[in-house]
Amino acid sequence: MGPLPLRRIPQESLSSADLISPDMYLEFSFPYTQRTLQFFEDLGFRTVLYFSGNLMPLLHHLKELPFTAIIFEEDRKNYGIDLAEVRRVMGPDRVLYGNVDAHFLEKASDDEVLAEVRRQIDVAGSDGNFVVSVGSPITPDTSLDRVRLLCESTQMI
């Protein structure tokens, strides 16, 4: 029998470097997250770490956590989140969920959306595991056609 289903555990919503210092994250959040992820990995689950906020100062530490995949926000608050750097640090075997800006998806032209998907695949998906995705929940005014465009984008580029 193969691995158990994918589980999204835990969610790091209060641990980003824009809310607490990296030192505080390492002291208070990292050990808990590490134990939680390891518990589920030991049971055979494939886990997804959902990291809200600025992960850039913590990348080298996050790499040491036992997760299968990581989802993180887009650079909407000018954190300097660099998808190419996340891929470089995490390596080609970790699954990354892309972080297309949800507001951008709503407002950009079709060509702009396709160009952003192509850019993300070029920097994070050509040599590793990559899922095209938004970095935050889709905005309420995003049309179904826009969602379809994102879903079908990899077949269009």
The residue extents of the domains of the chain are 6-156
3-state secondary structure of 7: strand
Q: Which of 9-13, 31-35, 43-47, 123-127 has the lowest mean pLDDT?
A: 9-13
One-letter amino acid of 87: R
Average pLDDT over residues 24-46: 91
The class (CATH top level) of 6-156 is alpha beta
Task: Supply the DSSP string of 36-102, one letter for each residue.
Answer: HHHHHHHTT-EEEEEE-S--GGGHHHHTTS--SEEEE--STT-----HHHHHHHH-TTSEEE--B-H
3-class SS of residue 112: helix
What's the pLDDT at 77? 76
